[in-house]
Structures are given as structure tokens and as C-alpha cells.
Structure 1
Amino acid sequence: MNLGVIKAYILKEIVELVRSKFIILVYLFPSMVILLFGYGIRMEVTHSRTVILDHDNSKLSTELISKFEHSKYFDTRVLNKPENEILKEMKKGKVDILIIIPESFEKRLLHGQKTEIGIFVDSSFPMRGTTMQSYAEGVIYNAAQSYMKNIPVKNLITINNRNLFNQSMRDENAIVPGLIGIILLVAPAILSALLIVKEKETGTIFNFYSSPAGKIDFLIAKLTPPFILHSANIFILFLWATYLFEVPFRGSFFIYWLSSEIYIIISVGIGLLVSVITRTQIVALVATIIITVIPGFLYSGILMPISSMVGSAYIEAHIFPVMYFNHIVYDCFLIGQGFSSEKNVLYFGVLIFYAFVLLSLGTLFMKKEMR
């Protein structure tokens, strides 16, 4: 590894980025995307993971549980655990809805007395939270009305609802953290792909072919500017999210920063692979957009929760790194479990694996010779 060669290449790239004004897009593009989509996306879900605590054990509560179990909107489990344990599972992302049927629920209704039922909803995604809440309320009222026949029950049952993690049900709290994952996937990949393909298109790649510089030196010099420049976007996007959109941040900033840096390495690795198979900047640009933007939106969890996907869509979502990174980002902003959550630790390990594999493949396929 020749540090002098690497330094010279890096300075050359930065000077060209400044001279061509392309460096403006490095920071303008991410900010424009988070502003446009952060304000523009407004989305109002099946197989919600539902836990029911039945403290009544009556005929009505059994009927109510049956309604949930036979609904395609809920994957229902009836447990006999303390409420706090279920809430801990919800905090770890294992439960979407907790329904608590109180004692004497049926008895109070039969006597015409008002009663209440508890619903705890994971509202990290407000649109999904609202939908799950309305479905649960509909099932409860329908089951009670069917059981009570002609006696109106809507005025007798009070739904004691609580939304967790995104209590205000703000769309920004769900959209903006997800946009960070998409932006940090797309922008570094485009820049890293263009910096290498530009050498092919203009013919200056022959300077590298004929120089004593090694392949590793060349790749480090080419990929370092995108990595360093977009590392600043980690902080810029964080400021946009917390101060402009007022998204709460409940987790560890160190975990957010470290995961983002590894994620940028993944993005740069994608750009490197694209640059290996393309020869013109326009082809590299289109290919990078197709590889990053479409999966980024479909499998980031912004438009549709991953848990609601089935079949090939569910498998594809686990192939792309954006799902793993966004899970950690949402945790950092809305939940705050950090590395105390086994799922976060697993997903962090998956990101490291992706970074290693993509860079290794790019280095392997990059040849220092004419084709």
C-alpha cells in the first residue's frame, strides 16, 4: 500500500469534485430528498402480532378471543403472563398489539354497567398503529354486540387505548428515520460508481493501468472521498430529523453513528460493483438508481411493514441491507433498546457482513487491465 499514491488520488478527486461543483449535490441531494419526502409522504396493515390477556375467562371473552383468532388481520396468542413481560416483548418488536380483558367484563355488560378493555398498540408506524387500533376496536364491538343481541354495547364499553413509541401518531416520526436509510444507500453508491466509471469514459483509467499503483491503492483513493463526504450527511440528516421535523431520539447516538458509517461502506461497495460492470456514467447512474432506489422504498418499511409481507417479497426484503439498517435507526429514534436488543445486535452483524462481502467482491472483480 503506497500512502503517497493514495493521498495524491484523494486530493485529485476532491479538487475535481469542487471544481465541477458536483460536491454541492453531495449535500444538496440528501437534504432535498428528506425535505421533499419527509413532508410529502402521507400513508394511512395484516397479521398483526396480537397477545390477549384474558382475566375474565367468561363466555363473552372466549367469543371475543375467537373473533380475533379467526381474523386475517391478527395473529393471536392467548397468554397467561404478567402485563409487564408482554410490554417488554412489544418493546423488542415481538408484539404489535396487547389486549387486556378485565375481570367481570361479561358480568358488568349483562348488568348494563360500563366497563373498559385495554389495548396497547405499537405505534412506531402511526398509520399502521391507527389501522390496528381501529380493527381491534371493530372486532371488540362486533363480538360484544353479537353476544348481547339487541342491547347496544357501544356506550357500555370504553376502549382504554395507549399508543407506544410514537404516542403523538406523527407521520414524520415514521417517515423521516426511514428516509435516512434510503438516502445513505443511494447517494454514496451513485458518487462512488461515477468516480470510477468517469475514469473509463474519459480514458484516464489508462493512467492507472500503466502506473505502478496497486489495485488496492486505487480503490481506497476512489472510495475514500464518497465515504468521508457522506459521513458528514449522517450528522446533517440527524439535525434535519430532530430539529426540523422534531422526531424524538431515544437511543444511543454512538450506535446510530457507527451503524450509519458501516451502512455507507455498504453503499460505497454497491457503487464499486456497479462501476465494475458499466463503462459510461449514464449507465452507471441508471443501474445504481435501479439497484438502490426501488428496493430502498419497497423494503425499507416506510411504505409497508416488513412483517406484513409474504412469500417472495418477505424474502427479498431480507436480501437488501436497507431493512436491517432501518430497523436499527427506528430503534435509535423511537424506542431506544440499542444493543440490549438481540435483534439489533444481529442486524448490526448483518451490516458488517454486507460491508465485507461487497467490498471483497468489488476488489476481486476490479481488474487492472484492458478488456
Structure 2
Amino acid sequence: MRAGVIKAYILKELTELFRTRLIIMVYLMPSMILLLFGYGIRMEVTHARIVILDNDQSHYSQLLTSKFEDSKYFDPMVMQISEKEALHLIKQAKAEMILIIPSSFEKRLIHGQKTEIGLFIDAAFPTRATTMESYVQGVILQAASEVGQKRSQNALITINSRNLFNQAMRDENAMVPGLIGLVLLVAPAILSALLIVKEKERGTIFNFYASPIRKHEFILAKLTPVFLLHSVNIFILFLWATWLFEVPFRGSFALYWVSSELYILISLGIGMLISIVTRSQIAAVVITVIVTLLPGFLYSGIILPISAMDHESYIEAHMFPVMYYNHILYDAFLIGEGLDSPTNRLYLGILVLYGATLLLLGTLFLKKELK
């Protein structure tokens, strides 16, 4: 491997990045994605508008109503209207839920009889509807538990729950580490996808065909500047996460840094392969976005835990590197097991294998000749 030749190509690539101002995209794009999605994605539902139809007007029904009024998750509206009018409020998007307390609510509770409460939810967005339903069930169970303790004096079952790793239940703690994995997959891949295909469009690829430089030297010279520039983003994104979003960091910074460097190398390898097989920059960018952005959302664990996926989706999630890297990220930020965890060691080894395979495939697919 000739260091002088590689150095000359690296200087050429750096000059090209500065001349075309792509250096701005290297640092602007990752930060913008993290800030936009970090503030924009919210899994928690607060201030849900719920219409309460209290047909009983009793002590117990008012106790249940007060539980909704004291909760940050609901904005209750107690109304004396018909069910048809209440459902019309949902159709007009003026309410999201309707809770109907029957007229015999307190009487049945006092006599120990089964009673039913009606709940209608706007399920246009299923995930949000499921979340709101669980909140309502929690409020009702809490009220029922208090009523049961007052009547029997002794509670048969008491649930004492504790939240681990994200005690404050902050969306930022759950979303931002996963977004770092998404950012470091998309941004380096898009930039590296332009490295070789732009040479084809401009015709400067003939310099590579005619020169004595070897294929692995050419790939190394192409990827090194982008790799070094994006390595700075590892620290920039870390500062955004811990300082701006106030996400705790409980693990090993060395593990975070090493795994991030490997992950950037994988991202560059994906973009490089796309750049080799495509013939236009537009096609390269479109394919890169499809290959990185969509799997980055679907199979990273940001929206849906990998363990909750079924069959095909579970297998597909294990085919993309974002799942392995995000597992290490969440451990570094929220758990802190580090290399003591056998899963982290296994996933780190998979990232090494993934990166080596992509670089090998890039060297094999790159042809030093006209097609």
C-alpha cells in the first residue's frame, strides 16, 4: 500500500469537499435531524381531551371524575349531553375520548355487584388510542383500589412499581439515543454514496482507470476524509444529547466511541456500495435514503421494541446494523453494563464483521475498467 498515493487522493477529496461546500452538510445535516426529531417525536400522550358523561351524579362517580381532573394526561370536560352529541364531538375533533358513567354506578358498587363503564376512543391513530386506553384503565383501577381500601380497610393486593433506567419516563431519554443511531446511519451513507458516482458523471473516473492506483487504495483514499469528518459528529451528537436534551450517560464513553466509529464505517460502506453500482447521483441518493432511513426507523427499536416484532420483521431487524448499534447506545446512555454484558460484546463483534464485509464487497464490485 503506497502511502504517498493515498495521501494525494485524500488531499484531493478534502479539497473537493471544501470547494463544493459539502463540508456544511457533514455537520449541519446530523444536528438538524437530531434536533428536529428529538423535539418532534413524542410517544407520551398528555392533555388528552376526554368528555365525561356522569349519569349517576353520586359520590363515587365524582371521585372517579376527580381522578381524571388531577391527572396531567387528561383534560376532562364533564358535560350533561346525550351520547349522540358526545360522539359528534369526536367527529368534529373536539374530543378524543368519551367516558360514560351509568346511573346505577354507586348503587352497584355498594352492593358488590358488577358495574360497567363505557369508553369510546378516537382510534384514527391506533398507537395513540392504545396509549390513551391504558391511561384510562390506570386511572379507573387506581380509583377502584381506593374505594376497595375504604370499604374493606385491608387491601388484598398492593402494587408497588419502580421504573428502571428511565425513572422520569422522559421521551427524550427514550428517543435521542436511538436518533443518534439513525443519524450516523443516514448522513455518512448519503455523502459516501456521492463519492464515486460523481466521478462517473463528470468523467474523472477515467483518471482512476488509467492510474496505477489499486482498488483498495482508491476506496481507502475516498472514505478516509469522510470518515474523519463524520467522526467529529460522534462528539457533537453526544453533546447535544447530554447537554441540550439532558439525557443521562451511565456507561463507558470508550465503548460509545469505538462502536460509533465502527458504525460510521458501516454507513460509509453502504453508501460506497451504492455509489459503485449506480450511474447517477440522484439515483444514488434516492437508493441510499430508502436503504438507510426506512430501516433506521422501522428496525432500530425507536418506535417499536425489537422483541415485540413478529417473525419476518424480527428477522429483517437483525439484518440491519442499526439494531445492534442502538442496543449498545441505549446501554451506554441508560443502563451502563458496558462490556460486562455478553450481548454488547456479541453485537460489537457483529458490527466489526458487518464493516469488514461491506469493505470487502466494495473492493470486489469496483471494476477498474469500462463496462
> What's the TM-score, normalizing by structure 2?
0.71
Which residue does 1:252 correspond to in 2? Answer: 252
Distance 1:9 1:153, change over 3 A: farther
Displacement after TM superposition at 1:39 (Å): 0.3
Runs ≥4 in structure 1, deviation > 3 angstroms? 151-158
Contact preservation (8 Å) 1:141, 1:153: no
Displacement after TM superposition at 1:159 (Å): 2.9
The 5 Å alignment of 1:102-141 reads none
Contact preservation (8 Å) 2:184, 2:263: yes
Contact preservation (8 Å) 1:172, 1:247: yes
Displacement after TM superposition at 1:175 (Å): 0.5
Which residue does 1:291 correspond to in 2? Answer: 291
Structure 1 distance, partners of 2:14, 2:250, is 36
Which residue does 1:25 correspond to in 2? Answer: 25
Deviations 1:185-221 (A, max 9, x none): 1111111110111101100000110111111111111
Deviations 1:236-274 (A, max 9, x none): 000000000000000000000000000111111101110
Displacement after TM superposition at 1:141 (Å): 5.5
Distance 1:272 1:154, change over 3 A: farther
Contact preservation (8 Å) 1:141, 1:154: no
Structure 2 distance, partners of 1:154, 1:325, is 49
Which residue does 1:166 correspond to in 2? Answer: 166
Larger-Rg structure? 2
Would you say how many aligned residue pairs link Structure 1 and Structure 2?
284
Contact preservation (8 Å) 2:195, 2:272: no
1:15 aligns with 2:15: yes
Which residue does 2:324 correspond to in 1? Answer: 324
Secondary structure (helix, strand or coil) at the match of 2:163 reads strand
Which residue does 2:176 correspond to in 1? Answer: 176
Displacement after TM superposition at 1:153 (Å): 9.3
Structure 1 distance, partners of 2:335, 2:184, is 21
Which residue does 1:368 correspond to in 2? Answer: 368
Unaligned stretches of 5+ residues in structure 2: 45-126
> What's the TM-score, normalizing by structure 1?
0.71
- For 1:177, give the aligned amino acid: P
Displacement after TM superposition at 1:156 (Å): 6.8
Contact preservation (8 Å) 1:339, 1:345: yes
Which residue does 1:96 correspond to in 2? Answer: none
- For 2:180, give the aligned amino acid: I
Structure 1 distance, partners of 2:234, 2:34, is 12
Structure 2 distance, partners of 1:155, 1:229, is 61
Contact preservation (8 Å) 1:193, 1:285: yes
Which residue does 2:345 correspond to in 1? Answer: 345
1:216 aligns with 2:216: yes
Which residue does 2:273 correspond to in 1? Answer: 273
Structure 1 distance, partners of 2:339, 2:154, is 44
Structure 1 distance, partners of 2:219, 2:153, is 69
Which residue does 1:189 correspond to in 2? Answer: 189
Unaligned stretches of 5+ residues in structure 1: 45-126
Structure 1 distance, partners of 2:230, 2:19, is 18
Which residue does 1:263 correspond to in 2? Answer: 263
Contact preservation (8 Å) 1:13, 1:225: yes
Quote the sequence identity (%). 69
Secondary structure (helix, strand or coil) at the match of 2:195 reads helix
Structure 1 distance, partners of 2:292, 2:208, is 28
Secondary structure (helix, strand or coil) at the match of 2:183 reads helix
Displacement after TM superposition at 1:158 (Å): 4.2
